[in-house]
Every structure is written in C-alpha cells, then in structure tokens.
Structure 1
C-alpha cells in the first residue's frame, strides 16, 4: 500500500511540474510603448500652387465748367472706366511657423512669402454723346508680383498624425496700377495716372496637414486674399488743340482679390514626444 501511494504521489508531482513548465513557456512581456507624433515645435517648409483672382480698376472724372468735358460726356467716361481684370498664375514660396499641441487641439502662428504673379489689363472705348463720332478709350493694367501672409492657425487632430485647421490673418503685397485715357476729339487729348502701394489686407482659409514621420509633414490648403482698394487722383489731362485742363480731375483706383490653392511640405525641428501603447 505504501508503495502504491508513493507511485501516485510521484505521478501527481510530475504532472504539476509539467504544467508549470508550460505556463512559463507561454509567458510574454508587456507591450513596449511606441513614440507618437507631437505637433509642438518650430517648422519650415515650401509650397506650390495656383492663384486666380480679379481686380476692378476704375477711371472716373467729374464735370467742371472750366473742364474739358461736356456734362453728358462725364457719365459716359465713368461707365467705360468701370473695368474688370482677371488673373491666374502659378504661385510658390517658403513657409515658417510654430505649433503648440494641447491634447487634441493644435494652435499655431505661421508666416510665408510667395511669388504671386497677379497680372492683367483691360481696355474700353465709347462715343461722346455730345460729339459723335468722336470716341475715347480707357486702358488699365494691374499687377502684384509677391504676396506675404502672417496668420494664426487653430485646428484639431482627426487622428494623431492628421491635423485639420482654420487659418487667418494679414496679407501683404505691393499692388501697382497704370491708367491711360485718350480720345480723338479734334487733335486728341490724353491723361495718365499711376498708383503703387504696399497693401496690408486680410486672408482666411482652411487646410489639412498629415505627419509622415521623422519631422516631415504634407499639407494642402485654400486661402482667400483681399488686399482692399487703393486710389489716386490726376489733373494732367491735356488736349493737343486746347492745352491742359487741370479742372478735369480724374480718380483711378484698384481693388484686388484672389483665391489660392496650394500644397506644401514642412519639416519640424525637435519638440516633445508623446508615448502611446
């Protein structure tokens, strides 16, 4: 009997040892924490895209008894002088900014300088109501070579690496307008005006940015730009037959707006790392 009990005990102990060995073999370590992307930090980048916009150059004058025009001619000149210029071009440049991530929100400040390439012209002609068939012509050209913006950004993380944001701030550009008035009444008359000003307008838009890793991210955004209206006056109308008419005051103005769609790549320097399982 004692031998039988010893044999049973040996079998039970052997089975328990085997199960313990199996459990030890199946043990796995806890998952290691992997670094996640954090948007906080300074970044630089480049962008390329296209702009399409419009400017509304205007040429107008006023009636004066001592002026060149008959009273019926002034409305005709002003109607022809209300013109429109459309422009489209490739745009591109450089970007720099800083982001702060707070949980799933990202706040930032961004600036950029770009080739703008806005350029266009318009021509209109009319017949003097008082003096047909004598005619007049108004020419206008508008250009803006570069555009800079300083904008705030506020967005949320649709995913750790995917940022959706709204942006808005100041838009800055040098806007230039050139105007020429001519007619063929008697020996003809002519007038010209030029306006040139560094404008500070506004811009607003939407965008998305995707972090691809190692500090790099890709973005796409839309911006609407309004640079406002600039104006100048001129009193240099001169008739080849009758001489100068300083009482015929001209006003020339330009109102420039544009839409921009562009894509870009950014590189972020440093910044904290967020751990995730």
Structure 2
C-alpha cells in the first residue's frame, strides 16, 4: 500500500512540474504601434473649387464751369454709374508650403496660384433730368483671370491625422475694368480702362487629413478682398472735344472661394505613437 501511494504521489508531482514548465514558457508579445503622422516638412499640391464674387464699378463726373453737363446730370450719372457685377466660376491651381509641428500645434506658410475666372459686365441707361427725352448709358465690365495668395497657417491637431487651421495673408490679382459713356443728346462718347495688379488680403479656415505616406487631403474656405482702384479721363467728345469734363471710373473686387485639394509632403521625421 505504501508503495502504491508513493507511486501516485510521484506521478502527481511530475505532472505539476510539466504544467509549471509549460506556463513559464508562455508569453504575449507587445503589439506594434503604428507611427504617428508628422506634419513638419515641405509640401506641394493641387486644388479645385469654385469662386463667387462681386465687383462694384462706379462712374462719376464733375460740374466745372463751361463744361458739358448740367448739375442735375452730374448727380444722375453718379447714381446710374454705381453698378454691381456678380460672377461665379470654377477655380483651380497649385500650392506649395512648409509646416512646423510643435506638439499638437502646426504652424505653416503657404502660397498658391490659381485660375480665378472672374468676369462680368453691367449696363444702365437713364433719362437726363434736364433734357428729356434724351438719355445716357454707362457700360462697365470687370475681369480677373488669375489669383495668387501668400498666407500663414495656424492650426491644431484634433487627432494625429486631423489638422484644423485658420489662414490669412496677401491676395494678388490683375484686375481689369473697361468703361464707356454715351448719350443721345449730342451724341457724346467717353471711355476709360483699368489694368492694375492689386495686392489685397485674404482670410479663411480649413481642415486637412493625413492619409499616410506623405499624402493628405484638404478642404478650405477663403474670403478675398482686392480693394478699390480708380482712373480718371478727360476724353469726352460731344460734337467737339470737351477736355474740361473729368470722369472718374473705379472698381473693387471681392470673392468667396471654396475648394478641395491634395498635398504631398516630402520627407520629415516620423514620431512613434505610444
């Protein structure tokens, strides 16, 4: 009986030892964490969207001694010459910039050049208050083919891949305006033109998402104000030249831009995510 009990005890102890050895040999490998996207670096990209803009061309004249217009006509020309042009078009172009990531903040400098496509015209006609039924007509047209911006960006990371930002800086475009005045009294004609590279301002907001391997996609809104530019002329012809009659033509241009884009960032360190 004693021999039987010793045999059973030996078998039990051996089995326990094997199980303990098996348990000691088992372990779990720590999961490999994916690296976080790092926003620091130089990038290039392209964008496409739409612009919805307005221009407010204006034509005025003066009432000097021995000039062509009556005082009431000068007032009427100023009212009729205050016009409004709306324009909408597809816009698109190329972007380049550089970001610096500091913890959850991302600071950047970005520039772009785009097809702008602003174009429109307006025509108003009215009766001379002094001289009915004679009328006068003012034609205006405004266009801007391209737009460039140089902007700072200040953003924060909602997640390592989601960047939300505000942006603002300079907006640059060549603004062109053409103006023509005619009447049925003499008849009279006058014209003026503007072609000026304007430096205005822009501001907006946007979001950018890093999809990996240096690529990111973005959507943003920009408001653009190019200010007002003017020109004067003394080329009124009413039977004969009327050099004493001065006209002033001016135009401003503002636009709202919504666009989406894709960027590719070159190099830059990768930060491990823990």
TM-score when scaled to structure 1?
0.95
Deviations 1:207-266 (A, max 9, x none): 0111111111110000000000000101111112xx111121111000100000000000
Find the counterpart in structure 2 of residue 148 from structure 1: 148
Aligned ranges 1:56-75 → 2 under 5 Å: 56-75=56-75
Aligned ranges 1:199-218 → 2 under 5 Å: 199-218=198-217
1:259 alignment partner, SS class: strand
Find the counterpart in structure 2 of residue 228 from structure 1: 227
- Displacement, 1:8? 5.8
Structure 1 window deviating more from structure 2 (195-204 vs 11-20): it is 11-20
- Displacement, 1:13? 3.1
1:274 alignment partner, SS class: coil
Find the counterpart in structure 1 of residue 189 from structure 2: 190
Provide structure 1 residue ranges, at least 5 long, that are not aligned to the other structure. none
- Runs of 4 or more, structure 1, over 4 Å off, are 1-6
- Displacement, 1:133? 0.6
* 2:92 aligned with 1:95: no
**How far apart, in 2, do the equivalents of 1:9 and 1:271 lie?**
66
Find the counterpart in structure 2 of residue 44 from structure 1: 44
Match of 1:266 among 244, 263, 267: 263
**How far apart, in 2, do the equivalents of 1:252 and 1:114 lie?**
27
Find the counterpart in structure 2 of residue 55 from structure 1: 55
Deviations 1:45-96 (A, max 9, x none): 0000000000000000011122100111100111000000000000000000
- Displacement, 1:16? 3.1
1:227 alignment partner, SS class: strand
**How far apart, in 2, do the equivalents of 1:204 and 1:244 lie?**
47
Deviations 1:103-154 (A, max 9, x none): 1111111000000000000000111111111100000000000000000001
Find the counterpart in structure 2 of residue 244 from structure 1: 241
2:185 alignment partner, SS class: coil
Q: CA RMSD in A?
A: 1.5
**How far apart, in 1, do the equivalents of 2:21 and 2:170 lie?**
71
Find the counterpart in structure 2 of residue 129 from structure 1: 129
Deviations 1:137-180 (A, max 9, x none): 00000000000000000111111111111100000000000000
**How far apart, in 1, do the equivalents of 2:235 and 2:127 lie?**
22
